[in-house]
Structure 1
Amino acid sequence: MTVPSQEYVHAPTGVNLQGIPKISLHDHLDGGLRPQTILELADDIDLDLPADDAESLREWFAVQSDSGSLVEYLKTFDITTAVMQSSDALVRVAREFVQDLAADGVVYGEIRWAPEQHLRGGLTLDEAVEAVQEGIETGVSDARANGHRIRAGQLVTAMRHADRGLEIAELATRHRYAGVVGFDFAGAEAGFPPSRARTAFDYLASEFFPVTVHAGEADGLESIRSALLDGRALRLGHGVRIAEDVKVESEDDDGTYVTVGPIAQWVKDREIALELSPSSNLQTGAIAAWGEDLIDHPFDLLYQLGFRVTVNTDNRLMSNTSLSRELALLAETFDYDLSDLEVFQLNAASAAFLPLEDREELADLITEGFERV
């Protein structure tokens, strides 16, 4: 798959999608660095890079990420995490991250990252979280000064292979009133089910702390089952392979007839949001069972069946993308209009890890923004 450039932000309607309010629920901090920032931070620590200018480095990340394998895709993060090992670096990356979201029209973003991967420079877990929060708050102030309205929170991630789930869960709850809005469970999915961190999820449930779990990306229905039962996930990170529990019985001029299995039915009936990331899902091979092109993505099937689908970028650097671009690609591929794109944003507002009143305010902001188009 060839990833188009960042400039692709217009829907078939001709509307510049950067100008409409959007919500980003699945966006990794270490997957959204500016190439120029990587160059400068790498120079500070004498880290060799595969390219010595920003555009070449951007292209390198896009090509390396287009492997069809989540394991290979994750190797690109060796570089981004390497330059994020100091407080100053974390502040800068988080600040620019928010600036870039705001410039793309995002009004609420949840920024996920794994503090345990940023301790090699001597930071403690708490210091790392505090540095990112400083960067977020500065980025929000920058955006406001430039006429953009944005709110952002941290999703503190535990890496599933590291078995530090309880420690990271306790870290997240310590900062729940200082910028952290939820807990995430990520990393190599196959072979590392959420059940491995059941103690952490039990603790989070006892603290009434919201959880999203990467599931249904590099592994199938059993991973999703574990995310729901062991993780008590309120959202599924990607979750695209929930479509394995949807059997297409027949198709004709009147429509498509399907049978929905018990796991998929549970996810649909409880409106558990799917954090779908179209370009990333192609790059990692998450939709390999259905094909290799965006038209093969089960996004539209899930949408038409009434699942709470949301649109996300996953890693803007690796996919050379933005939320506006992802929406434009979907609109072009599935002939969506602005009303469809509004549904995706309202779904995200409903699924945000915020108090009900704040989610309702977000929904009103989305509706007002689309009405102005």
Structure 2
Amino acid sequence: MASLALDTIRRVPKVVLHDHLDGGVRVETLAELAREAGDTDLPADDPERLAAWLAGATSAASHDHGGHDPVIELLQSEQVLTRVAAEAVDDLAADGVVYAEVKIAPERHTAAGLTPAQVVAAVLAGVRVGAARARLFGHRIEVRLLLTAMRQAAHSMEIADLAVRFRHQGVVGFDIAGPEHGYPPTRHISACEYVKRENFHLTLHAGEGFGLSSIWEAIQWCGADRLGQSVRIVDDIAVAEDGTAKLGDLAAYIRDRRVPLELCPISNLRTGVVRSLEEHPVEVLRRLRFRVTVNTDARLLNQTSMTREFAALADTFGYTLTDLRWFTVNAMKSAFIGHDDRLELINSVIKPGYAAESVDRVRAAFFRGEDPW
């Protein structure tokens, strides 16, 4: 089959579970905010130069989330947070995303006096605005928030409580991010246990900047429902030259329990976790039928989108629309909304969207006199 066109990938329904709000702010908005702030090191006079500067400044550090600092410094008011949240929903909708869980670390937006609760309320207001605007243009998109605590700080219990308090207002789970080395997830086990006692959802960044022990603690001690990044799970898989694979105990447990993996291939490439997309374990994990999902991580900082993620994987591994649908359904099955809502999006939006695109693709190839297969 011919390679997938970018427009085809953009049109099909997509789901993203790992997308940081501060990592996806529009570069034009950042440039405007930087000019208004005045006292900033950002090259705010040229959006293109600013985008290149951010990509270069964060490429080595973003898996520790230190590279987000220049952006976060500009996101310290309710008005700005509402604006960037609404714009994020606009951009996700334009990219064909129909469901998104966006991560926000409230503790990082309080430098100008906002409380963490005010931060969450401001972002949720923006999400509602963006979703309403998308509906005006005929695009359905559902967006929820994940509240992130930083593992190098000591606010996880406060953020976990905040997530539970906002659970019926658009927050669907609790997350822990930040540098893995020296900051194991068990430092925040009280917050994780509280979230589980409240029958709420938990996803932890684990297995990106550190190895299998981080993943093991996230699953077996903290009780994570999903694993953020987790690319290093491949260290527990031995692949022979003939393609057969032997799974270690941890990898087998994660696959057997269907623990979703929030993989972010282009982010992993930019931060040096993998040397090339060809070496990314997404294909090994897909072939072994782990619960693999594909995500953006930080759209601006990694110069990516869900369309670009899928296009890069399709070009690298020869994925078809059937493969992209598999990733998308995996993600929707793994979302932190209710079972009925997940099924409704899969059966009413995602599967029909891919089916229609497949029919159009075959019809167009037929009339061009090409082999559609």
TM > 0.5: yes
- Residue aligning to 2:45: 52
Deviations 1:251-292 (A, max 9, x none): 23xxx12110111111101111110001101122223xxxx1
- Residue aligning to 1:318: 301
Greater CA drift, 277-286 or 134-143: 277-286
8 Å Cα contact 2:62/2:68 also seen in 1: no
Alignment of 1:31 onto 2:43:
no
* Partner Cα distance (1:47, 1:209) in 2: 41
Give the count of matched residue pairs.
353
8 Å Cα contact 2:32/2:44 also seen in 1: no
- Residue aligning to 2:369: none
Sequence identity (%): 47
Deviations 1:304-360 (A, max 9, x none): 001011010000011111101100000110011110000000000100001100111
- Structure 2 residue identity aligned to 1:114: A
- Structure 1 residue identity aligned to 2:63: L
- Structure 2 residue identity aligned to 1:318: L
- Residue aligning to 2:351: 367
Give the deviation of 1:69 after TM superposition. 7.0
Q: How does 1:187-226 map to 2 (within 5 A)?
A: 187-226=178-217
- Residue aligning to 2:363: none
* Partner Cα distance (1:69, 1:213) in 2: 16
Give the deviation of 1:63 after TM superposition. 2.2
Q: How does 1:109-124 map to 2 (within 5 A)?
A: 109-124=100-115
- Structure 2 residue identity aligned to 1:323: M
* Partner Cα distance (2:116, 2:189) in 1: 21
Give the deviation of 1:65 after TM superposition. 2.8
Which of 281, 293, 296 pairs up with 2:268?
Answer: 281
Q: How does 1:76-95 map to 2 (within 5 A)?
A: 76-95=67-86
Which of 256, 268, 276 pairs up with 1:293?
Answer: 276
- Residue aligning to 2:366: none
Deviations 1:218-245 (A, max 9, x none): 0000000110022211110011100000
- Structure 2 residue identity aligned to 1:100: D
- Residue aligning to 2:364: none
Q: Helix, strand or coil for the counterpart of 1:336?
A: coil
Greater CA drift, 51-60 or 107-116: 51-60
8 Å Cα contact 2:58/2:68 also seen in 1: no
Give the TM-score taking structure 2 as reference length.
0.92
Q: Which ranges of structure 2 fall in alignment gaps of 5 or more residues?
A: 358-373
Give the deviation of 1:51 after TM superposition. 4.3
Q: Which ranges of structure 1 fall in alignment gaps of 5 or more residues?
A: 1-10
Alignment of 1:67 onto 2:30:
no
- Structure 1 residue identity aligned to 2:165: R
* Partner Cα distance (2:271, 2:222) in 1: 23
8 Å Cα contact 1:68/1:285 also seen in 2: no
* Partner Cα distance (1:209, 1:326) in 2: 29
Which of 213, 233, 257 pairs up with 1:270?
Answer: 257
CA RMSD of aligned residues (A): 1.3
- Structure 1 residue identity aligned to 2:71: T
- Residue aligning to 1:4: none
- Structure 2 residue identity aligned to 1:278: P
